[in-house]
Each structure stands twice: as structure tokens, then as C-alpha cells.
Amino acid sequence: MFHKAIRDGLIDPARSVQIGNDAPHPQAALEWINTIERPEVHAAITNEVFYPNADAAARKFMRPESQSSLQASSKSRRGLRGNSAAGSP
């Protein structure tokens, strides 16, 4: 069933976290997932590596320079997509 969900595009393995059936410590894995998904953790990661996240609740925990850098990066990516869609190099 899981492989069918991936094949049908319902789950993107690169953007999801799973706990294997034979995981030696499934409760610890679940606690890690719950920790990494907190907005303040998303913000800390973004503040450190300037990698954007989709968590709107994380914005209030982000440093101003992280937010402005990500906004500029987002505008640049939108512009590149627009140019390539129009056939420009």
C-alpha cells in the first residue's frame, strides 16, 4: 500500500518522515519527529542554514536577516521560473 501511495504521488518520500515497522526504538523516533516539527525548531534550522521552510508559525521565531534573505531568494526563484516558462534563457 505504501509503495502504491508513492507511485500515485500521494506521498513524497523526500518531504516526509516515516518510522519503519522494525525500528528498534519507535517511540524515540516519534519523539524526534514531534520535536523537529515544532515551529521554533524550523526557525532555528532556517536561521542557521538559510534554508526556507513552509511553516508560517516559524516566522515569529526567525531572525530578521533570515526572513529578508529568504524573501529575496523567493523573489529570485519566482523570476527564474517566470523567465524559463517564457522561453528565455
| pLDDT single digits (tens) 46-82 | 999 877 888 889 999 999 888 877 666 666 655 555 5
**Could you report the per-residue pLDDT of 28-46, keeping only the tens digit for each?**
999 999 998 899 999 999 9
**pLDDT score recorded for residue 89:** 43
Q: Is the pLDDT of residue 85 over 50?
A: no
pTM for the complete prediction? 0.59
Residue 47 identity (one-letter amino acid): N
What is the pLDDT, as a whole number, of residue 80?
53
Q: What is the mean pLDDT of the chain?
A: 78
Alpha carbon separation from 53 to 28, 33, 47, 67, 81 (Å, rounded)? 24, 16, 11, 11, 19
